[in-house]
Structure 1
Amino acid sequence: MINNISILKNITILYAEDEASLREITLNILKGFTKKQFVAQDGKEGLDLFKENEEEIDLIITDVNMPHMNGLEMIKEIKQINPNIPIIVATAFSNTEYLLEAIDIGVDKYVLKPIDMKKLLQTMSQSLLYHELKDLYIDKLTHLPNRNRLKKDLAQTNEDLMALINIDKFSTLNDLFGENNGDKILSEFSDNLKEHFTKDEYKIYRIEADKFAVVSKEYNKDINEFKKLCKEFANNIQKESIIIDDNEVDLNVTIGIAKGDGNRAYKYSQRVIAYARSKFEQVMIYDDSFNIQESFEENIKWVKKIKNGLKDGNFKGFYQPIVDNKTQEIYKYEALIRFIEDNGDVIAPFHFLDIAKKAKLYPHVIKVMLKEALLLINEKQKRVAVNISFEDIASSETQHFIYEELKNEPEATKLLEFEILESEEISDIQIVKDFIKEVKALGCTVGVDDFGAGYSNFNMLTNLDIDFVKIDSSLIKEIDHSKNQEIIVNTISNFSKEFGFTTVAEFVSSKEIYEKVTSLGIDYSQGYYFGKPVSFEEV
């Protein structure tokens, strides 16, 4: 019984043998046990095959006496490239001097001719340990060196020039085409990388998922030349679709480039790729002036502050008045979240809200906001509007919390309004419809916030059972001297009247803007002209 033979099905071998009949017999048997075979008729051909396919080959089986370059000469060359590759030497008993030389150059396994196939397979299966270790350094899908290999290689150099390459929105491609096709895309993409960044000059790694790294073997290479090469690759990828099963798949990439000792080059290229995305740059070189480190440190600080603030009650509701345009009297307040520092400083959401969302802490913030709004209603009998995103509505946990709070406060719901953020993409309109139906049944009023920004859709308004439309600040803040904005706002106002929605103008910051929105028939105004957000005590 041969042990561990099953592992051989995952192994790719290089088999070098000059004797045709023996080569054919042995190869036919090896095909039944191994995944892939590269076959050479002499040492020179074997060496060339190894150089071309080094990343795929797991194990070498070679004869010693071969023309052009004998097996030992081939082994010496291969060991210069990869000293850890397992090599099995097949030799006649009479050639013991070759065997001793083979041991000297690092070959620790051999089989005697004529080859006993059972013995050969047992010897091959003993390469399992190396194969497992190799898996720690090789990506199974693309056969590229992986993140572990990159870190090891970078640790051994004093200076590196590298690019981190990220496929944009790759998770969307997985959702569209399935993970199997996603793997095909990654495999094809890695082939494109190998073709563009030649192995003589660059080493390519697959870091994780859709992230790849390219490291220049010439550390003194001009960084702007490298950027030009990366830019050419990005443009080629964008212009030429990847073909998967006769289907064209369009890709875009973002590339971050950095230079420095191994650890810094890797760290900086990671940082600059995110910065490049925020600046809508396809390829960007790291520069200390970007202050990326400071922004990371600020993010880390805020994640900790948000977590502690949720426990310690640092989040409070502030309330901005919304007035009736006919009477200029306060009709309701919009609840806005603020972070109160221990010294009493009030921090606007601009500093922490995006971080809370990325850190998956935002659902806790919306819960605080709802409780704060209900407190103002109960204590001061004021009408209050609370912002809610599609992400909140789609969360069963957040939904459950909202419904339970409303059921526990039946007297407060008639003064509570929800403003659904229209600037966020609503991927499932039925979820929103169900939410509106539920909260309206509990006594609340519902409207759409930020209309006119992002994904504005008049048809969507007619499909939702809403009570009001809040017009985005981008259309209001210059309406007193922008004819285009006036036309758009007038259209929204007339449309809303036709369907029975009331309208609210945001960012009414001056008398001129107030008079303009009033003349267009807008029902309510919110902005600094009528008042800034104030604390619970100041309402």
Structure 2
Amino acid sequence: NRRRLKEAIELAIFRATSLDRPCSLLLIDMDRFKLVNDLEGHEAGDRFLIEVSRLLRRHAGHTDTVARIGSDEFAVLLENLSAEQALERAEFIRGELEGYGFRHGGRQYRTCASIGVAGIEGGTGSAAVSELMAQADQACFVAKQHGRNRVHAYSEGDPELDYLRRDHTWAPLIREAIERDRLFLCFQPIVRTRDGRITHYECLLRMRDRDGNVCMPGEFIPVAERTGLIHRLDMWVVDRALDFLAAQPRGERDVRVSVNLSAHAFLNRELFDLLARRLEMSRVPSDRLLFEITETAAIENMARSRELIARLRALGCRFALDDFGSGFSTFNYIKHFPVDYLKLDGSFIVNVANDPVDQALVRHMISIARSLGKETIAEFVESEAAFEAVRELGVDYVQGHYLGEARETPIARVELPGYTPTVPPDGDGERPAPPSADPRRGRAG
């Protein structure tokens, strides 16, 4: 077990540093244990682990220590072997595990393992038990990142470890920001091209660090996704968006907001019930709330995305597909996807005023959207020329710095050439509903 292993590592480190006898630690993560456990039950899973333990014991030297340190994790401590010999032994064990077939109920399961290797050369300086175990664990993580069923020796320069270090730094800051109210929303206007009216605001998430500095989503959203904190951020954004809508004065109660849902939101089976309850409590008309999902995330989780979108639309919420056009192979899916708006990928918009190819592509996407009965939103409208170009091409809504920056206090109107600013009459519920979110500016998810 883990306690016995730590004792053995402590002694091995002493021998390595004092007696010039190198040692290496192999951390072995069984890549397919969950499959056996889920399909055959815990009794079969236990027998599988026992057989793996016996296999490891058979191929370990008489001075080696073998331990089970997690549900499907094992460790082998090798002594008096060079780094090259330890890697050879690890590769041999990996091959034996790959060739092993677990049989149960007339079925056979092939297994494999990711193995991380960390070592201490003889005569080197002191090292802590926890440090060696952490290095082996990190090497195993890199092996998994490289495709599993492989051996990887720890190196401090492994770029994959930057994710782990970043997660270790940022995860506590994100939790603290949620608990201590250091998150806030900025609102960027979305303007209807036919009359220059602000019909929506996109909610863009920001975070303040302990010193009050503003952190952009690109810094903390990826960490939240890897560490599972993204679900809390998703719900925080929805809560604050509904609070914003509920607080609008009577004359502005036809304005809508768009909220970005992370790809991970569609893996959260509780999301629909939480959203439905929150909508009911807020008393905000559900058609004032738009959700946005990227095209890539929608296609990757096609069945679940369609299910959740259909259920939320049944409540009255609207949906937009972000980054539309970034994956042309997915055009076939769009006609079956229940969204209201297609948000054109910003890469087609930034140079649309001067690039005939971008103009042709945007025109084509607008044509597809109209044939499907959907409206279009163009993001990254950064200049008057870009605005005039997309308006002439027939885009329904526009968003970008030219029309308004994202601000904590949203702007009430925009001044555009050729438009006379108007104050919408009270109760004008005509405004349609787009979303928008750009990771470079601030995913609200």
Aligned to 1:242: 101
1:81-108: CA deviation from partner (whole Å, max 9, x where unpaired):
xxxxxxxxxxxxxxxxxxxxxxxxxxxx
CA contact (8 A) 1:469 1:504 kept: yes
2:301 to 401, 408, 425: 425
Mind listing any 5+ residue stretches in structure 1 that lack a counterpart? 1-145
Establish whether residue 403 from structure 1 lines up as the match of residue 276 from structure 2.
yes
Do structure 1's residue 213 and structure 2's residue 81 form an aligned pair?
Answer: no
Matching residue of 2:90: 230
Q: Is residue 2:379 matched to residue 1:379?
A: no
Shift of 1:269: 0.9
Shift of 1:373: 2.1
Instruction: Spell out the pairing of 1:349-498 with structure 2 (5 A cutoff).
Output: 349-377=217-245, 378-379=247-248, 381=252, 382-389=255-262, 392=265, 395=268, 398-422=271-295, 423=297, 425-426=301-302, 428=304, 431-433=307-309, 435-440=311-316, 444-450=317-323, 461-471=334-344, 493-498=366-371
> Within 2, Cα distance between the matches of 1:346 and 1:402?
28
Offset at residue 286 of structure 1 (A): 1.9
**In structure 2, what is the Cα distance between the partners aligned to 1:242 and 1:486?**
57
Q: Name the structure 2 match of 1:11.
A: none
Q: Which moved more, 1:177-186 or 1:161-170?
A: 177-186
CA contact (8 A) 1:165 1:212 kept: yes
Q: Does 1:148 align with 2:148?
A: no
**Gap change, CA 1:427 and 1:512, over 3 Å in 2:** same
Residue 370 of structure 1 and its aligned partner are, at CA, apart by 1.9
Mapped to 2, the partners of 1:486 and 1:182 lie a distance apart of 58
Q: 3-state DSSP class of the match of 2:312?
A: helix
Residue 347 of structure 1 and its aligned partner are, at CA, apart by 0.6
- CA deviation string 1:354-378 (max 9, x = no partner): 4434554434322331233234434
The correspondence for 2:181, drawn from 305, 313, 316, is: 313
Post-superposition Cα deviations, 1:251-310, rounded to whole Å, max 9, x if no partner, equal 453322111344432121113323444465843322234599986665455343333322
Over 3 Å counting, the alpha-carbon distance change for 1:456 and 1:228 in structure 2 is: farther
Give 3-state SS (helix, strand or coil) of 1:353's partner.
Answer: helix
Distance 1:390 1:345, change over 3 A: closer
CA distance 1:502–1:320, shift in 2 (3 Å): same
1:169 and 1:497 map into 2 onto residues whose CA distance is: 47
TM-score for the superposition, normalised by structure 1? 0.58
Task: Confirm or deny that 1:166 pairs with 2:22.
Answer: no
Q: Indicate conservation of the 8 Å contact 2:225/2:264, yes or no.
A: no
Q: Is the 8 A contact 1:271 1:292 kept in 2?
A: no
Contact conserved, 1:315 with 1:337, CA < 8 A, in 2?
yes
Distance 2:55 2:172 in 1: 42
- Secondary structure of 1:496's match? helix
Q: Distance in 2 between matches of 1:486 and 1:250?
A: 52
Question: Identity of counterpart residues, as a percentage?
Answer: 25
Give how far 1:164 is off.
Answer: 1.1
Contact 2:377 2:396 in 1 (8 A): yes
Q: Tell me whether 1:333 sits opposite 2:196 in the alignment.
A: no
Partner of 1:265: 132
* Structure 2 partner of 1:348: 216
Q: Provide the rounded CA distance (Å) in 2 between the counterparts of 1:457 and 1:174.
A: 35
Q: Is contact 2:186-2:408 (8 Å) kept?
A: yes
The alignment partner of 1:436 has SS state of helix
- Aligned match of 1:533 in 406, 412, 424? 406
Distance in 1 between the 2:62 and 2:303 partners?
47
> For the residues of structure 2 that align with 1:244 and 1:475, how far apart are their CA atoms?
54
> Conserved in 2, the CA contact under 8 Å of 1:168 and 1:251?
yes
Aligned to 1:103: none
d(CA) in 2 for partners of 1:455 and 1:184?
Answer: 48
Using structure 2 for the length normalisation, give the TM-score.
0.68
**Are 1:448 and 1:470, in contact at CA under 8 Å, matched by a contact in 2?**
yes
How many residue pairs end up in the alignment?
386
State the secondary structure of the residue aligned to 1:254. strand
8 Å contact 1:374–1:412 — kept in the other structure? Answer: no
The residue type equivalent to 1:406 in the other structure is: L
5+ residue gaps, structure 2: 17-22, 121-126, 413-445
After superposition, the C-alpha distances for 1:161-205 in whole angstroms (9 at most, x for unaligned) are: 11212233643554355444444544454455456x443474433
SS of alignment partner, residue 379 of structure 1: coil
The CA RMSD measured in Å over matched residues stands at 4.4
Residue 337 of structure 1, CA deviation? 1.2
Aligned to 1:502: 375
Looking at structure 2, the residues matched to 241 and 481 of structure 1 have their Cα atoms a distance apart, in angstroms, of 58
1:200-238 deviation line (CA, Å, top 9, x unaligned): 4744332212212222132xx332443344345546756
Which residue, 38, 41, 56 being the options, matches 1:175? Answer: 38
Deviation at 1:318, TM superposition (A): 1.7
* Larger RCO (CA under 8 A, 6+ residues apart): 2
Cα deviation for residue 432 of structure 1 reads 1.1
- What SS does the aligned partner of 2:301 have? coil
Amino acid at match of 1:266: M
Question: What letter is aligned with 1:432?
Answer: L
